Amino acid sequence: MHQSNQARAHLVGSFPATNTESAMRTTLAGLKDLLVSVPDGETGWRYYFTAGLSQKIAGQSPALGGVWRSYDEQFNPLPAPKVNEAAKQAILNTIALHPDLDFGYAAEAIASYQTFLKLKQEGLIAKNVRFQVSLPGIGSFTMFILPEYQSAMEKLAFRALRKDVIRIAQELPGTDIAMQFDIAADFIMMEAQKDTTYLDTLRADFHPRSEDLKKLYSNQYIELINQVDPAATVGLHICPGNISNRAVLEPKDMSVSVELANTIMSRIARSLDWVHFGILPSWKNESHYAPLKGMQPGPAVYLGLVYPNDREGAEQRISCAHEHMEDFGIAPSCGLGRTSIEDAGSVLAIISEISRGASEGKVPLKVGEGLLALLYQGR
């Protein structure tokens, strides 16, 4: 069991850099003493979250060609093609007989960990700071699958992700690892299943199936978390998605996200060390944060309420959240990988200024031209 280690700030995972070392050096330059874990920036094929994963698996597994959704040039899902029952059954048979998939997250973590060790040896990373490994939920992969094949493909996908979690536990020292599970598309589907009024405007690839998705996805996360090395810390990132730097769905409040965190926390065979909640920029009323009062004690809480060039808005959201929870850290709402260099720098600057000013009573340390220079080098 781990005692909750509430840091002042948290980063979700992705960052606008071309390689792991650039991502780590830049984030550490801005937030070095505010973090208890540092992610690798999710560069390469992970840059577009699970869109890159789906393209990778499609290239590796041509036999599964019939399962994928099609999209237009603006990345909007196209209507599903009509397929007769015989053709559909043939595809389902192919899925059932298909060899296990190789997602490749463990290989990426093992490679990035070497950079983490290098920076630690240089003294850039403190002894108590862990290497953060971020893994997506199954729903964020199967949203790219046509609805009639999603259940079958989820079995393949779950085995692949479970295998990555186990390999990380076997090959990396748990005392250095912070494992985060990113709950995005599956959270959106749970919201839409609970309140069907969202379906009028929600993209088709986020529409929920008829089965109980809260039960399905909670069970998946519980099983995955139970495979994490007991010496590692583990956390959740729960957010309403991010396409073109806008939320896919705008929840009315935090009720579903807090309920989901509590459900997972109550059933895992270990402690949950942190939960990061993505917060909408429009949430400037304390009622949005009221469900935080029902959050089970134990994990550190990070509120993703920092947006580019909006320090005033961040402070308003912090004030509203403090009506219902006294102690929490701050963060961006989601990964920063698909934001501009300038916007990523702005987010780090705001986090640094607010965190240092609030906790130390000192003149805020601005993240300015030096950090932007590092960001441009990382491109």
Could you tell me if residue 123 is inside a domain?
A: yes
Provide the pLDDT confidence category of residue 135 given band limits of 50, 70 and 90. very high
Count of the separate structural domains present in the chain: 1
Distance CA 333, CA 183 (A): 13
Q: What is the CATH number of the domain that holds 194?
A: 3.20.20
pLDDT at 242: 81
Could you tell me if residue 321 is inside a domain?
A: yes
pLDDT at 4: 58
248's CB contacts (< 8 A; 6+ apart) are 185, 188, 202, 203, 206, 240, 241, 242
Could you tell me if residue 66 is inside a domain?
A: yes
Contact (Cβ atoms closer than 8 angstroms) between residue 228 and residue 165: yes
Strand (E) or helix (H) holding 105: helix 105-121
* Domain limits for position 192: 20-378
In the chain, the amino acid numbered 140 is S
Region at 2 (left for phi over 0; alpha for psi -120 to 50; beta for the rest): beta
Looking at per-residue confidence, does 2 or 51 come out higher?
51
**Residue 333 carries which DSSP code?**
S
Residue 358 has pLDDT above 60, yes or no: no
Could you tell me if residue 9 is inside a domain?
A: no
Residue 373 has pLDDT above 80, yes or no: no
Residue 368 has pLDDT above 80, yes or no: no
Could you tell me if residue 267 is inside a domain?
A: yes
Q: Scan for tokens 């597994």, then name that residue.
A: 61
Could you tell me if residue 229 is inside a domain?
A: yes
Provide the pLDDT confidence category of residue 184 given band limits of 50, 70 and 90. very high
Give the tens place of pLDDT for each residue, 258-294.
999 999 999 999 999 999 999 999 999 999 999 999 9
pLDDT at 379: 47
Could you tell me if residue 8 is inside a domain?
A: no
Residue 295 has pLDDT above 70, yes or no: yes
Distance CA 214, CA 231 (A): 28
Give the tens place of pLDDT for each residue, 47-93.
888 889 999 999 999 999 999 999 998 889 999 888 899 999 999 99
pLDDT at 290: 98
- Annotate 246-309 with DSSP letters as a single string: B-SS--SSSHHHHHHHHHHHHHSSS---EEEEE--TT--SGGGGGGGGGPPSSSEEEEEEE-TT
Q: What is the pTM of this model?
A: 0.91
Could you tell me if residue 3 is inside a domain?
A: no
